[in-house]
């Protein structure tokens, strides 16, 4: 057959797959080494060189092999990944997002089938925990056909497993490959491939972290490198050429079978497409279709060569066909046979199975859900494909807490140890042998009395108390801005506090909360028997989980963690149907499918959702209520929006609405909530709840809040207005993408390559507490509560400081052992003392000088001493005054006389005491000042700050003074350190720091703008010109250095 393809003419005879018999299959498919010895020998020097020389070797090989141009960086910025994504058409972007979501959902379902284990053993308990590796490297081929789908398959699976740092390597990546990495939410991307990329991931370089697991398909050099580093790190598989086996009977469509075989053959000239059929006529029909379809296949050259490696097997019956498939243990196995589902469990060895005529292997390749990174070369006999399990570690543990009950185990260990010739082992076990006396005094493990399902239940991690946070951060309580728990910082009305004081605390409260339920009923317009009160809404979530059948609950993450926690306590399985990525919209159809498939007992919905702030329409809630399960709508934040679903409560008996007084009413500390539900549900809840679950203070306070609802709603109105203000302010930061919110918080996505975790940590070090989530879907997000205007102001101040700070980048990894601080302008506001003394000294000699004159003089070298500076200013104006005379006048003004108060009384401390205490907790601190000892000690005593400094270096302590480095060198010697930072407000402070000789130590100068110089660009430039690594505007910024 002669066929024209493009402007090429190629001759092709009719295709006929080589036929082999079932018995020949065994010899034909014997396992071979995944990498030939010659390739391994050539690969090893590359791997070793990158291990030894790091980035230098990586760049050298990547340039040599064509991955990089000369001078091109191997690192791709996260902002470049976003730009690549934004450059794609809407159709491609939506395809990537949908595919990612399917992969993510399947991986989540896989992870949910794994559980920690705790089981009794003789004398105690044993079990396992399941933990992800910390760092993963994912390889995606470049080559002839780049595989962005491999980026999604590997990186998303790693992220779902819980891997905290996910990197991708791909040589010469296309825009779609980069965009896929953005969608997957990777932490790093390198545009190199081959053995050098695998080695960089395995051993780490100066710019690439060493990974704990390396996954993804690649060429023979990648596979060889993976074989060399296997054992040091976990790998998925040693992949060979791709392969697909199709079992087809008379029901198969030859066109579809041929198309599926060609889809495999076009991968690579070494690929294999295998047909196993019960009928030679089916094989002939497939041969004919292969011939026809190759005529128009754009990848025909590759596919045609791959068919030379391929073959067909004709078997007597279906059982023999299944036996042949098991012998080959193929990467992909398709069943195009009658009643395919009846046979799937008979098969033992395959990478991935595709059951039935519609289950194309190509759908698995492109994200139906299961992973496409699979074992080849019969490796499916011993391993499976890539999954969340690849990134998880099973860690076993045991605890013997009843040695008498373990005596049989101890004695067996002694015998086995001596049989193996390990006397040390035997003696170690003998130390656990008990005498008859000690045995009788011991008792059995208390864990044997507990439910195994609860022994290792994770403890719920609530927000830490303020006092604990303040102590940890080295801050006073009033310096903290608490924006991490969505509390109403306005607090309740004063009448609440009055009624709490007057309550009869010695009398038990009403066990049924009848008055509170009646007040709620009147406020809501429902009968009181539809209401149950609880110790916050959490109490009611727990009660609801305990009244249902032991069927799974459905949640849609990200959402409130208490649903899963309470379900775990009640022994209910949890099925997560995640919200859609990026938009965080509910996947309505998937939720309904989940309810039916798992016969769910409860569907939990937070509305507005925490932490995203999204709202669900009542039509959607009503559609969920049509399903056969309880629908619990948590309206903890409903007062901050204009919607609730109470109108549905009389229509749907399976609807439960949760609400709380914690948010709108400011009663978070008193814990009171309630639910509205059908009487049959509330009757059961009332029968099992603790009788006094709402204390008397909470009961009284909640009723007062209902009476004062109109007053409190003015506060709610203010919070909603503040939410609008905060949203507008956040939009001014180019690295923050705030999500629309209907609650008293805003979820912010941190973009442009910035780390959400680091940003939250930096803000926390400045006393601003926000909520950061470490889960894979929220690792790039921070939630900030909406509070009072002054709280927003402090948050924005800290955000501006962190975003504009050059401190850390300017230090370039420098780790100081101590801190040196100048005094004037750094610790002491001298604008009304020393500076005024300079002005008044000059004035006494008939010369007028300004603050600008003083600044200009201090910008020059050698004027750190204010006496010298004053004399020089006088001289500049043509007035010659003796130094001693000038000095005496200055001191008279500064120290004062018997009748006139000295200017030193006007000095104030610039940083607060908590900052000084914090710096002292991080290492030695010294003051390096040009002040006389009298002036320095006078201020230190007055403000009681001596405890925060190890030494004070004053004017009299050295022969030479700043800008000479002698005072700084003396401080290093006294503190017995070699590395420090020196913070000063004048160029001479900086010069003194950076002039320290290398043999004496290393000091980096950090400039700071004195209080009267805030925003002074000329002073900033002067400090930088003197050699400052950066200039800060607030000493609080040093907290970022020690964060």
pLDDT at 2 > cutoff 70: no
Question: What pLDDT score was predicted for residue 436?
Answer: 58
For the segment 741-765, the average pLDDT, to the nearest whole number, is 93
pLDDT at 612 > cutoff 80: yes
pLDDT at 190 > cutoff 70: yes
Question: What pLDDT score was predicted for residue 988?
Answer: 94
In the set 332, 336, 357, 372, the catalytic residue is 332
User: Tell me, what DSSP letter sits at residue 552?
Assistant: P
Question: What pLDDT score was predicted for residue 143?
Answer: 60
Per the DSSP assignment, residues forming a β-bridge with 783 are 747, 771
For the segment 221-235, the average pLDDT, to the nearest whole number, is 92
Distance CA 1008, CA 824 (A): 11
Distance CA 911, CA 1036 (A): 8
* Contact between 373 and 237 (Cβ < 8 Å): yes
Binned at pLDDT 50, 70 and 90, residue 6 comes out as very low
- The string of pLDDT tens digits covering residues 567-585 is 999 999 999 999 998 889 9
Distance CA 952, CA 967 (A): 10
Question: What pLDDT score was predicted for residue 437?
Answer: 53
- Give how far the C-alpha of residue 826 lies from the chain's centroid of Cα atoms, to the nearest Å: 37
Question: What pLDDT score was predicted for residue 1030?
Answer: 95
pLDDT at 238 > cutoff 90: no
pLDDT at 367 > cutoff 80: no
* Contact between 648 and 675 (Cβ < 8 Å): no
Average pLDDT, the chain: 91
* Contact between 241 and 270 (Cβ < 8 Å): yes
pLDDT at 8 > cutoff 50: no
> What does each C-alpha distance from 662 to 486, 491, 637, 910, 968 come to in angstroms?
9, 10, 9, 38, 54
Question: What pLDDT score was predicted for residue 777?
Answer: 84
In the set 331, 361, 635, 1037, the catalytic residue is 331
Which regions of 822-921 does DSSP assign to beta strands (E)?
Answer: 828-829, 908-909
* Contact between 911 and 1036 (Cβ < 8 Å): yes
Place of tokens 């320095």: 936
* Contact between 632 and 603 (Cβ < 8 Å): yes
For the segment 215-219, the average pLDDT, to the nearest whole number, is 90
User: Tell me, what DSSP letter sits at residue 896?
Assistant: B
Question: What pLDDT score was predicted for residue 233?
Answer: 94
Binned at pLDDT 50, 70 and 90, residue 219 comes out as confident
Binned at pLDDT 50, 70 and 90, residue 667 comes out as very high
Per the DSSP assignment, residues forming a β-bridge with 354 are 334
- The string of pLDDT tens digits covering residues 198-213 is 999 999 999 999 999 9
For the segment 663-676, the average pLDDT, to the nearest whole number, is 96
For the segment 441-458, the average pLDDT, to the nearest whole number, is 68
Question: What pLDDT score was predicted for residue 32?
Answer: 64
Which has more pLDDT, 35 or 900? Answer: 900
For the segment 929-954, the average pLDDT, to the nearest whole number, is 94
- The string of pLDDT tens digits covering residues 117-140 is 888 888 888 989 889 999 999 999
Question: What pLDDT score was predicted for residue 458?
Answer: 74
Question: What pLDDT score was predicted for residue 856?
Answer: 87
Highest mean pLDDT among 22-26, 301-305, 542-546: 542-546
Which has more pLDDT, 656 or 395? Answer: 656
For the segment 759-769, the average pLDDT, to the nearest whole number, is 94
Structure tokens at 316: 């007597």
- The string of pLDDT tens digits covering residues 262-294 is 998 998 888 899 999 999 999 999 999 999 999
Per the DSSP assignment, residues forming a β-bridge with 24 are none
Binned at pLDDT 50, 70 and 90, residue 365 comes out as confident
User: Tell me, what DSSP letter sits at residue 342?
Assistant: G
Question: What pLDDT score was predicted for residue 31?
Answer: 54
Distance CA 359, CA 380 (A): 20
pLDDT at 17 > cutoff 90: yes
- The string of pLDDT tens digits covering residues 710-724 is 999 999 999 999 999
Which helix (H) or strand (E) segment holds residue 1041: the answer is helix 1038-1041
Question: What pLDDT score was predicted for residue 643?
Answer: 93
For the segment 327-348, the average pLDDT, to the nearest whole number, is 90
Question: What pLDDT score was predicted for residue 384?
Answer: 85
Burial of 846 from C-beta contacts in 10 A (0-12 / 13-18 / 19+): exposed
pLDDT at 382 > cutoff 90: no
* pTM, rounded to two decimals: 0.64
- Tell me if the bond preceding 47 is cis, omega within 30° of 0: no
Question: What pLDDT score was predicted for residue 201?
Answer: 96
Distance CA 386, CA 369 (A): 12
Distance CA 288, CA 779 (A): 53
Percentage of the chain modeled with pLDDT above 90: 70
Question: What pLDDT score was predicted for residue 1012?
Answer: 81
* Contact between 988 and 962 (Cβ < 8 Å): yes
Distance CA 818, CA 990 (A): 16
Question: What pLDDT score was predicted for residue 1?
Answer: 33
Burial of 737 from C-beta contacts in 10 A (0-12 / 13-18 / 19+): middle
Q: How much of the chain is helix, strand and coil, in % rounded to 5?
A: 45, 15, 35
* Contact between 233 and 213 (Cβ < 8 Å): yes
Other beta carbons within 10 Å of 437: 7
Which range (471-480, 701-710, 943-952) has the least confidence? Answer: 471-480
Sheet strands side by side (includes 745-750): 736-738, 745-750, 781-785, 771-772
Binned at pLDDT 50, 70 and 90, residue 564 comes out as very high
Which helix (H) or strand (E) segment holds residue 849: the answer is none
pLDDT at 435 > cutoff 80: no
Tell me whether residue 332 is one of the annotated catalytic residues. yes
- The string of pLDDT tens digits covering residues 50-70 is 999 999 999 999 999 999 999
Binned at pLDDT 50, 70 and 90, residue 9 comes out as very low
Distance CA 555, CA 575 (A): 6
Tally helices (H) and strands (E) across the chain.
42, 38
- The string of pLDDT tens digits covering residues 824-861 is 999 999 988 888 999 999 999 999 999 889 888 887 88
User: Tell me, what DSSP letter sits at residue 34?
Assistant: S
Distance CA 181, CA 85 (A): 9
pLDDT at 4 > cutoff 50: no
For the segment 228-236, the average pLDDT, to the nearest whole number, is 91
């Amino acid at each position: 057959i002669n066929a024209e393809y493009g402007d090429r003419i190629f001759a092709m005879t009719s295709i006929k797959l080589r036929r082999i018999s079932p018995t020949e299959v065994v010899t034909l498919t014997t396992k071979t080494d995944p990498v030939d010895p010659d390739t391994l020998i050539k690969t090893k020097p590359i791997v070793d060189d990158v291990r030894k020389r790091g980035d230098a070797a990586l760049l050298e090989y990547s340039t040599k092999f064509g991955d990089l141009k000369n001078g091109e960086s191997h690192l791709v910025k996260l902002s470049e990944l976003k730009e690549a994504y934004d450059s794609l058409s809407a159709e491609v972007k939506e395809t990537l997002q949908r595919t990612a979501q399917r992969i993510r959902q399947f991986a989540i379902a896989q992870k949910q089938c794994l559980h920690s284990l705790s089981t009794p053993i003789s004398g105690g308990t044993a079990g396992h925990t399941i933990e992800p590796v910390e760092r993963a490297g994912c390889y995606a081929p470049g080559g002839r056909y780049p595989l962005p789908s491999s980026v999604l398959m590997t990186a998303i699976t790693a992220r779902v497993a819980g891997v905290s740092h996910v990197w991708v390597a791909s040589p010469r990546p296309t825009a779609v490959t980069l965009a896929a990495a953005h969608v997957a939410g990777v932490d790093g991307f390198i545009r190199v491939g081959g053995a050098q990329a695998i080695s960089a991931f395995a051993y780490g370089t100066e710019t690439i972290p060493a990974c704990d697991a390396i996954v993804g398909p690649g060429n023979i050099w990648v596979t060889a490198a993976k074989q060399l580093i296997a054992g040091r790190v976990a790998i998925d598989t040693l992949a060979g050429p791709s392969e697909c086996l199709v079992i087809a009977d008379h029901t198969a469509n030859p066109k579809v079978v041929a198309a599926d075989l060609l889809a495999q053959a076009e991968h690579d000239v070494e690929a294999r497409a295998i047909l196993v059929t019960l009928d030679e006529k089916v094989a002939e029909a497939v041969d004919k279709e292969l011939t026809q379809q190759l005529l128009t296949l754009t990848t025909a050259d590759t596919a045609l060569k791959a068919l030379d490696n391929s073959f067909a097997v004709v078997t007597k019956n279906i059982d023999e066909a299944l036996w042949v498939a098991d012998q080959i243990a193929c990467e992909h196995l398709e069943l195009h046979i009658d009643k395919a589902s009846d046979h799937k469990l008979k098969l033992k060895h395959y990478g991935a199975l595709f059951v039935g005529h519609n289950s194309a292997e190509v759908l698995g390749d492109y994200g139906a859900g299961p992973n496409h990174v699979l074992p080849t070369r019969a490796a499916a006999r011993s391993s499976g494909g890539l999954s969340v399990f690849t990134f998880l570690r099973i860690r076993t543990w045991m605890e013997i807490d009843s040695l008498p009950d373990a005596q049989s185990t101890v004695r067996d260990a002694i015998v086995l140890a001596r049989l193996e010739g390990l006397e040390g082992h035997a003696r170690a076990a003998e130390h656990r042998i008990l005498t008859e006396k000690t045995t009788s005094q011991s008792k059995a493990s208390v864990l044997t009395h507990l439910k195994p399902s609860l022994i290792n239940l994770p403890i719920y991690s609530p927000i830490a108390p303020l006092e604990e946070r303040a102590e940890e951060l080295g801050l006073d309580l009033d310096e903290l801005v608490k924006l991490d728990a969505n509390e109403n910082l306005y607090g309740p009305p004063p009448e609440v506090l009055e009624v709490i004081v007057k309550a009869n605390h010695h009398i038990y409260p009403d066990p049924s909360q009848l008055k509170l339920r009646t007040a709620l009923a009147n406020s809501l317009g429902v009968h009181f028997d539809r209401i149950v009160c609880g110790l916050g809404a959490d109490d009611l979530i727990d009660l609801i989980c305990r009244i249902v059948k032991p069927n799974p609950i459905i949640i849609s993450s990200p959402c409130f963690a208490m649903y899963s926690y309470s379900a775990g306590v009640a022994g209910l399985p949890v099925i997560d149907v995640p919200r859609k990525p990026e938009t965080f919209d509910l996947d309505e159809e998937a939720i309904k499918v989940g309810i039916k498939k798992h016969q769910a007992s409860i569907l939990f919905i937070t509305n507005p959702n925490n932490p995203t702030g999204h709202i669900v329409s009542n039509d959607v809630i009503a559609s969920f209520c049509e399903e056969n399960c309880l629908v619990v709508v948590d309206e903890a934040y409903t007062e901050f929006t204009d919607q609730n679903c109470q109108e549905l409560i009389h229509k749907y008996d399976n609807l439960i609405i949760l609400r709380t007084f914690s948010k709108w009413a400011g009663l978070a500390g008193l814990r009171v909530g309630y639910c509205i539900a059908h009487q049959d549900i509330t009757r059961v809840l009332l029968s099992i709840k603790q009788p006094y679950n709402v204390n008397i203070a909470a009961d009284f306070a909640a009723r007062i809040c209902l009476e004062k609802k109109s007053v409190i709603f003015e506060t709610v109105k203010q919070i909603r207005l503040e939410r609008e203000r905060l949203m507008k302010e956040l939009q001014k930061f180019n690295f923050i993408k705030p999500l629309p919110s209907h609650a008293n918080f805003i979820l912010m996505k941190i973009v442009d390559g910035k780390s959400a975790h680091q940003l939250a940590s930096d803000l926390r070090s400045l006393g601003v507490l926000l909520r950061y989530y470490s889960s894979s879907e929220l690792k790039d997000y921070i939630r900030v509560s909406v509070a009072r205007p002054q709280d927003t102001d402090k948050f924005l101040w800290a955000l501006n400081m962190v975003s504009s700070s050059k401190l850390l980048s300017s230090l370039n990894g420098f780790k100081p052992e101590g801190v040196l601080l100048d005094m004037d302008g750094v610790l002491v506001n001298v604008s009304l003392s020393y500076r005024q003394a300079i002005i008044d000294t000059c004035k006494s000699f008939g010369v007028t000088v300004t603050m600008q004159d003083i600044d200009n003089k201090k910008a020059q070298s050698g004027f750190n001493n204010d006496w010298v500076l004053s004399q020089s200013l006088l001289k500049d104006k043509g007035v010659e005054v003796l130094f001693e005379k000038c000095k005496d006048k200055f001191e008279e003004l500064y120290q004062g006389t018997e009748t006139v108060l000295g200017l030193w009384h006007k000095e104030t401390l610039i940083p607060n005491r908590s900052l000084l205490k914090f710096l002292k907790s991080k290492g030695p601190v010294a003051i390096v000042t040009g002040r006389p000892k009298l002036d320095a000690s006078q201020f230190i005593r007055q403000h009681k700050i001596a405890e925060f400094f190890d030494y004070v270096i004053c004017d009299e302590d050295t022969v030479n003074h700043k800008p000479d480095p002698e005072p700084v060198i003396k401080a290093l010697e006294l503190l017995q350190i070699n590395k420090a930072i020196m913070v000063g407000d004048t160029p001479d402070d900086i010069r003194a720091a950076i002039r320290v000789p290398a043999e004496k130590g290393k000091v980096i100068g950090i400039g700071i703008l004195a209080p009267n110089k805030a925003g002074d660009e000329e002073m900033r430039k002067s400090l930088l010109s003197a050699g400052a690594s950066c200039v800060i505007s607030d000493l609080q910024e040093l907290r970022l250095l020690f964060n």
